[in-house]
């Protein structure tokens, strides 16, 4: 029988606790200004011998920087406590070798699932409306590779919210769709929280499959253990037999573990390499062979199983496999604290550009890497420039350091990730600092971190028709004066983007925000030869969701309309996204997405 490469997997909290290195906390990305969340607990970055670069409160040149608290924020869906599994009628329940006695009242209902409430920054319980099967179908068809960093932040927040389960779908199935999409987005931590929001004995077959992937993405083999019986009954039998073996090993039962491994190997349906990885995990528990050798010579791809098992047992993954891995697995790498620092740093720029890492978390990660005994030369150079961007006495020198980080010799993802890293430093730069004629990168950096109030202070210094002016025209919290079709035309006259896409995005953002009247919009659209009001099944769906006042559904459909790269997003998609978000009260996100489009094309 043909040997299959095992792409599904195991996981577990108890195992991870024994095997991981100290975690570098991921700073929360949930926007603070959205819904005025209550004070939520924040992870604290791991201490480092090299301080994280940060602007000093009083620079030595005597000037005091403006406040740099992001209005459009950066906090994470991680602001909730993880809960354990509970059993029926207060019976004793086993989870990964641990047992709990919980009363019936402690069990969670399937009628409302998710860790974030409106008080902790989540959306309202009815944010997705009553079309449960429809929402799940859209989630399943969304690939998770979004053009917009802010679109990712908003979608993560929406999917993590405690939402009411419509009568048209099983709550566990909807949770499975949410967790699976989060995994495709690279949001491994939030995906696990969604899985853990449902008692394991109430998990549907779809949620059981999603749980396997979620715990793999978190390199947590023991977390799979409560799902093994359901997995053996409804899932990939051989994969779940390996899971069963690992769980037996965690319980100290070497005999059943060895028997299960033998059954899988004799079936011939799982590659021997993936079986060896499971045996390596068993060896770490003391229930298997400790001398298992892992050779990657003939392995051509990094699957979720291979990522989870190798990461949990500190097996180095070849750089070529990590480089060629899908974007979501690269993000899992950054979020897994047990991964070696070099691999995390290599994957961090993409994670920061996508919105998986906040500005503070990205800088903290680089600082931790620079504090190692023998840091990579490139990391040292980057952190030196970051430190200069935050701490040099003269504003002009700090700006020069930022420009070096935004250098044109890097790729577009690395350049935007550098803007994310310098967001707070850019916001702290005194207005009036010599920054050239068109400081669009400076403003783009501020808005990448949500510092829109700091950005608007630069309005008097920019020229109408410049790229910096365009970024402010859609990104500022208040409309600029003198907005007209002529102003858009002035901008398009010097637009060097392919097919004047940047000008079309500017028009789409202004029209969607209601900052350009209908006649001016029509005139500019005619000049640019773009149809912003094109009707498609998608455009009708997102506007119908806006009319029903369903912000969660709007966020989901917005993400579906921004899959891929910005260069592939039609201008009319941006128009409907911005307009729909504004109509459901998410105007801050609408502005950040519109500004990001102008920065990244």
Give backbone dihedrals phi and psi of 95, rounded to 5 degrees, phi first: -140, 110
Task: Decide: 176 and 65 in contact? Cβ < 8 Å.
Answer: no
What is the structure's pLDDT at 102? 54
What is the structure's pLDDT at 288? 59
What is the structure's pLDDT at 49? 36
Residues comprising the chain, all counted:
601
Structure-block tokens of residue 560: 């579906």
DSSP 263-319: HHHHHT-B-HHHHHHHHHHHHHHTSS-TT-----TT-----HHHHHHHHHTTPPPPH
Task: Decide: 97 and 472 in contact? Cβ < 8 Å.
Answer: no
Task: Decide: 80 and 70 in contact? Cβ < 8 Å.
Answer: no
List all residues 6 or more positions away from 229 whose beta carbon is below 8 Å from its beta carbon.
none
Neighbours of 42 (CB within 10 A): 14
**By CB neighbour count within 10 A (0-12 exposed, 13-18 middle, 19+ buried), where does 437 fall?**
exposed
What is the structure's pLDDT at 110? 95
Residue 178, sorted as left (phi over 0), alpha (psi -120 to 50) or beta, turns out to be alpha
Mean pLDDT for each consecutive 10-residue tract of the chain (601 residues)?
41 34 33 33 34 35 49 47 31 40 73 96 97 97 97 98 96 98 98 97 96 97 95 86 92 87 91 94 73 88 96 95 96 96 96 97 96 93 96 97 89 96 98 95 98 96 96 97 94 96 98 97 97 97 98 98 97 98 98 98 96
List all residues 6 or more positions away from 320 whose beta carbon is below 8 Å from its beta carbon.
none
Task: Decide: 277 and 11 in contact? Cβ < 8 Å.
Answer: no
Give the alpha-carbon dihedral of 569, 31, 124, 473, to 10 degrees.
-50
| Distance from C-alpha of 576 to C-alpha of 546, rounded to nearest angstrom | 10
Structure-block tokens of residue 118: 């409106």
Neighbours of 464 (CB within 10 A): 16
Structure-block tokens of residue 316: 């180095």
List all residues 6 or more positions away from 271 whose beta carbon is below 8 Å from its beta carbon.
3, 4, 5, 6
What is the structure's pLDDT at 24? 33
Task: Decide: 452 and 443 in contact? Cβ < 8 Å.
Answer: no
- Under DSSP, the state recorded for 376 is -
What is the structure's pLDDT at 68? 62
What is the structure's pLDDT at 224? 96
Closest residue by Cα to residue 388 from 55, 48, 68, 58 = 55
List all residues 6 or more positions away from 76 whose beta carbon is below 8 Å from its beta carbon.
26, 27, 28, 29, 30, 43, 190, 358
Give backbone dihedrals phi and psi of 291, rounded to 5 degrees, phi first: -95, 15
Residue 336, sorted as left (phi over 0), alpha (psi -120 to 50) or beta, turns out to be beta
| Distance from C-alpha of 113 to C-alpha of 29, rounded to nearest angstrom | 20
| Distance from C-alpha of 240 to C-alpha of 215, rounded to nearest angstrom | 13
Closest residue by Cα to residue 113 from 180, 164, 77 = 164
Structure-block tokens of residue 503: 């000008």
- Give the 3-state secondary structure of 154-181: HHHHHHHECEECCCCCCHHHHHHHHHHH
């Amino acid at each position: 029988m043909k040997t299959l490469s095992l792409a599904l997997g195991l996981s577990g909290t108890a195992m991870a606790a024994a095997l991981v290195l100290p975690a570098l906390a991921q700073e929360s990305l949930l926007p603070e200004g959205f819904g005025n969340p209550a004070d939520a607990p924040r992870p604290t970055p791991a201490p480092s011998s090299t301080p994280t670069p940060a602007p000093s409160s009083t620079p030595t040149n005597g000037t005091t920087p403006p406040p740099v608290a992001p209005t459009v924020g950066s906090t994470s869906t991680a602001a909730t406590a993880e809960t354990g599994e509970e059993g029926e009628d207060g019976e004793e329940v086993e989870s990964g070798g641990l047992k709990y006695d919980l009363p019936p009242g402690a069990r969670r209902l399937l009628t409302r699932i998710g860790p974030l409430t409106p008080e902790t920054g989540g959306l309202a319980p009815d944010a997705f409306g009553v079309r449960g099967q429809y929402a799940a179908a859209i989630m399943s068809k969304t690939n998770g590779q979004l053009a917009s960093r802010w679109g990712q932040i908003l979608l993560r927040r929406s999917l993590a919210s405690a939402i009411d389960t419509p009568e048209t779908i099983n709550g566990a199935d909807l949770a499975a769709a949410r967790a699976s999409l989060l995994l495709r987005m690279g949001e491994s931590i939030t995906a696990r929280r969604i899985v853990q929001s449902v008692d394991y004995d109430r998990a549907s077959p779809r949620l059981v499959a999603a749980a396997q992937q979620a715990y793999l993405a978190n390199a947590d083999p023991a977390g799979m253990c409560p799902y093994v019986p359901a997995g053996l009954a409804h899932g990939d039998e051989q994969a779940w037999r390996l899971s069963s073996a690992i769980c037996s090993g965690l319980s100290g039962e070497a005999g059943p573990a060895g028997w299960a491994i033998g059954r899988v190997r004799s079936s011939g349906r799982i590659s021997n390499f993936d079986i060896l990885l499971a045996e390596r995990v068993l060896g770490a528990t003391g229930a298997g062979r400790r001398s298992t050798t892992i050779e990657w010579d003939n392995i051509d791809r990094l699957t979720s199983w291979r990522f989870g098992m190798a990461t949990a047992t500190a097996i180095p993954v070849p750089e070529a496999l990590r480089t060629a891995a899908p974007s979501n697995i690269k993000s899992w790498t950054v979020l897994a604290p047990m991964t070696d620092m070099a691999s995390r740093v290599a994957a961090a720029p993409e994670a920061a550009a996508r919105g998986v890492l906040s500005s503070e978390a990205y800088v903290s990660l680089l600082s931790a890497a620079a504090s190692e005994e023998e840091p990579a030369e490139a990391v040292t150079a980057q952190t030196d420039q970051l430190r200069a961007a935050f701490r040099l006495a003269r504003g002009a020198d700090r700006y020069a350091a930022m420009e070096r980080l935004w250098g044109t010799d890097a790729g577009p993802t690395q350049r935007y990730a550098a803007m994310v890293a310098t967001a707070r430093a850019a916001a702290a730069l005194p207005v009036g600092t010599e920054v050239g004629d068109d400081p669009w990168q400076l403003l783009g950096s501020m808005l990448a971190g949500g510092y829109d109030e700091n950005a608007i202070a630069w309005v008097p210094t920019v020229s109408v028709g410049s790229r910096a002016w365009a970024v402010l025209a859609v990104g500022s919290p208040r409309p600029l004066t003198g907005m007209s079709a002529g102003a858009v035309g002035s901008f398009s006259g010097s637009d060097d983007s392919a097919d004047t896409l940047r000008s079309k995005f500017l028009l789409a953002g202004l029209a969607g925000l209601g900052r350009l009247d209908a006649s001016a919009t029509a005139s500019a659209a005619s000049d640019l030869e773009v149809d912003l009001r094109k009707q498609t099944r998608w455009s009708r769906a997102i506007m119908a969701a806006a009319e029903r006042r369903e912000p969660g559904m709007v966020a989901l459909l917005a993400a579906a309309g921004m899959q891929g790269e910005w260069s592939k997003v039609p201008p009319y998609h941006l128009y409907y996204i911005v307009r729909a978000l504004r109509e459901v009260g998410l105007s801050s996100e609408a502005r950040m997405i519109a500004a990001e489009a102008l920065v990244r094309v």
